[in-house]
Amino acid sequence: MKMSSETTSEPSNDGDSFSPWDILTARYDKSQRARIDHFKEEEDLGADEDMEEEISPTRAQKIGRALLDILRLRLRKVEAQRDKEARIMARRELREEIRRAEAEELERSNSDEQLLLRAMREYRDYAVRSRDSFLIRQESIERSLNDNLTQISQLEEEALDPNSGVTKRTIRYVPKDESGEDMAPVEIPVYDLTGYRFRQLSTCTGIASDGNPEYKKLARKRLEHPELWTRTLDEVKDEPDFLKKGAYNDTISASYRDTGNKTRDAILKPSAENVVYGFCKVAPKSVVTSRSSDSGTPGEALSERTRPDIASHWRWEEHTAWDKIHVTKVEDFSPDKGQHDEVAFARYDEKGNPVLPDYIYTQNNAISRYDLLHAYYFGVPIINLNTASYETEEEKALYERDRIARDEEEARRIAMEEEKRKAREEAERAQKEADAERARIKRAKKELIKQQREKRRNEIIATGKCESFEEILQLSDDDDEAIVMLKAVAEKGDKQKIADEVIAELDKDGDLERLANGDDMSDYDWGGYYESIRDIFDFDYSKIYSELHGKRE
């Protein structure tokens, strides 16, 4: 089969123009290219020799297949043939890529690198034999990291050049023994970076997750006791907190940073309560996650070497290879300045020994006593990065624009808050005025009703005329007022009518019976009222009750 790794088409016979057949041929080549790439990444390519025969579609076949694609027709026989052709080409391209990689490896001369490359080559062969895309992608990111991470030997060499952006100095540190007594002072090397491109893989060892008090205690313990990091897997794997969030588990969650990428924030922010460990390399078969974002790697994200049973489950049952090893070379990490790049790799080697830091990282000369303690304990230098040296004029202008925008936004916020405050005060003032007006109207209405009641009472007293006994009761605030009006009615008005209504009211409430029986009514409301109306209307309660009772019978 004759097929290039790039999409091409045969030229037409009429100069620079293309015929419809050329367009259809190019369309077929493009679709077949996608099919090949698909097989290279995801399909089981196998190693069947019987699939290696030459299979080359004719121009007519290409045109016919392109037309079938346009019509969205999928003929089983045609699709099977296309898959077969694509699978053969994918295998050939993959083998060619492996051959080129091997040729590049042979050019390396450093003995340490040769050992690492030999291990990677053996690992790659295993990956190809096992047809494991995760392992292939894992090797790619490990190779890319080891080719790009800044080495201490590089800084040592660059420090000899006064214009390199690297200077070396030492800090005098007095360690203490177990009893707290001063020991002999030591000189800890410090590399100051003022523009030299620095690529780091680092992790924060003093971070406390989610503000949990227990994690904060653990973070403080780590700061005071760097030896906690050096415990072997056998020493920690049976502890209750092993594999739990915030504990030292099987995986190191690190960040990749590159100061040469001017469009992103390449600076990890240390603090006095935090020590940052830096690593110059990663071991083969150790990376379990690489993403241009915070992937939230759990404690169970184990490396294959220490817990293959759990690692296999975590890797295949819950996550795909593409999802976890998302970035296969450092150039593909996010250029977004606010984006976090995460690389998670195994904390322990095949023998269960922990991966130790190659340096302690800090910036702007903020070297804390914990930085010195950890640098002394591990016997590593401190790398101190001057952040201002890595800001371009464009970045400075951007920061200034951001500052102005923040100030304007803050001014708008303050103005809006002031408007809200004034509106709130105005609403409260209006509410108070409305409440006061309602209260005034209520008082005026009450006063008017009082005056109308008073006027009506005076009219009844003056004329002795009223609508009914019920009206007298409604106009009376107490029994004295009712007695006064009843006297006026008895003297000047329709005495008999009101007397009958009074008796009817007494009888309805049961008071007439009690009065007829001689009950003491002094405990009832308006107790003196009954005696007064008896005198006003000359009532004989016993006689009246008997007459009414008899009539009812």
Both 196 and 337 in one domain: the answer is yes
Owner of token pair 């293959």: 308
> Is the Cβ–Cβ distance between 230 and 353 less than 8 Å?
no
Both 362 and 489 in one domain: the answer is no
Report the range of poorest mean pLDDT among 116-130, 229-243, 505-519.
116-130
Predicted confidence (pLDDT) at residue 219 exceeds the cutoff of 90? no
Predicted confidence (pLDDT) at residue 343 exceeds the cutoff of 60? yes
> Which pLDDT belongs to residue 121?
72
Please tell me the distance from the alpha carbon of residue 491 to that of residue 487, in angstroms, as a whole number. 6
**What average pLDDT does this structure show over 250-263?**
79
The neighbouring-strand residues paired with 172 are 187
Please tell me the distance from the alpha carbon of residue 118 to that of residue 62, in angstroms, as a whole number. 43
Examine the fold and report which residue of 57, 80, 107 is the final residue of a domain before the chain moves on: 107
Check residues 23 and 127 and name the one with the higher pLDDT: 23
Query: Residue 8 domain-assigned?
Result: no
Both 435 and 520 in one domain: the answer is no
419-455: pLDDT as tens digits: 999 999 999 999 999 999 999 999 999 999 889 989 9
Both 235 and 349 in one domain: the answer is yes
Both 68 and 166 in one domain: the answer is no
> Which pLDDT belongs to residue 361?
94
Predicted confidence (pLDDT) at residue 335 exceeds the cutoff of 60? yes
Could you please report the per-residue DSSP string of 17-84? ---HHHHHHHHHHHHHHHHHHHHHHHS-----GGG-S-----HHHHHHHHHHHHTT---HHHHHHHHH
| Residue type, position 119, single letter | A
Both 387 and 408 in one domain: the answer is no
Name the band, by pLDDT with cuts 50, 70 and 90, for residue 96. Answer: confident
136-156: pLDDT as tens digits: 888 889 999 999 999 999 999
Both 380 and 403 in one domain: the answer is no
* Eight-state DSSP code of residue 313: I
Please tell me the distance from the alpha carbon of residue 270 to that of residue 359, in angstroms, as a whole number. 14
Both 158 and 257 in one domain: the answer is yes
Query: Residue 99 domain-assigned?
Result: yes
Burial level of 178, CB count in 10 A (0-12/13-18/19+)? exposed
Query: Residue 194 domain-assigned?
Result: yes
Pairing of strands 186-193, 276-279: unpaired
Residues contacting 63, CB < 8 A, separation 6+: 21, 24, 25, 28
State the residue range of the domain holding 331. 142-391
Both 45 and 88 in one domain: the answer is yes
Q: In what order do the strands lie in the sheet with 199-204?
A: 166-173, 186-193, 382-385, 359-363, 276-279, 199-204, 251-258, 342-346, 287-291
Both 519 and 431 in one domain: the answer is no
> Which pLDDT belongs to residue 136?
80
Residues contacting 248, CB < 8 A, separation 6+: 228, 229, 231, 236, 242, 347
| Residue type, position 496, single letter | Q
> Which pLDDT belongs to residue 352?
84
Query: Residue 59 domain-assigned?
Result: yes
**What average pLDDT does this structure show over 203-224?**
71
Name the band, by pLDDT with cuts 50, 70 and 90, for residue 15. Answer: very low
- Structural tokens at position 13: 């016979």
Q: CA nearest 377: which of 229, 156, 234? A: 229
Count structural domains, the chain: 4
17-41: pLDDT as tens digits: 567 787 878 878 888 888 888 877 7
Query: Residue 321 domain-assigned?
Result: yes
Query: Residue 131 domain-assigned?
Result: no
Examine the fold and report which residue of 457, 472, 489 is the final residue of a domain before the chain moves on: 457
Both 357 and 274 in one domain: the answer is yes
Mean pLDDT rounded to a whole number for the chain:
79
> Which pLDDT belongs to residue 206?
64
Both 436 and 477 in one domain: the answer is no
> Is the Cβ–Cβ distance between 265 and 337 less than 8 Å?
yes
